[in-house]
Amino acid sequence: MTFTVTPETGDNRTATVRLAGELDMSTVPELDTAISDLVGTGRNRLVVDLGELAFCDSTGLACLVRGDNRCAALGGWLRVTNHRGHVARVLAVSGLDEFLRYQP
């Protein structure tokens, strides 16, 4: 399955990152790079749309937490939205569904 990361910039501080496919140890570097690039341009509020993400392992979860830590260091946050199925279960079991929950 192909993994894609699609960043969509909003205002000067906000961006949405849409993920599709499988987020695992082989694809985490792509997401990590996208997050670093966005944070590097001053965007410290990231919404990660997981609607098309079919799978996420512990390395994917760790990448999301690292991204939140990077954003928090600049006074912002990383939040997830549209999680369902396997991905929703993994987030719930880890407790990250509450920690990273996006509430507009």
Q: What per-residue confidence (pLDDT) applies to 10? A: 86
Domain boundaries, the chain: 30-49+62-92
d(Cα 2, Cα 77) in Å, to the nearest integer? Answer: 27
pLDDT tens digit sequence for 50-86:
999 999 999 999 999 999 999 999 999 999 999 999 9
The answer to whether residues 22 and 54 touch, using CB atoms and an 8 Å cutoff, is yes
The runs of H, that is alpha helices, within 1-104 are 28-40, 58-73, 85-94, 96-99
Average pLDDT, the chain: 95
d(Cα 86, Cα 41) in Å, to the nearest integer? Answer: 32
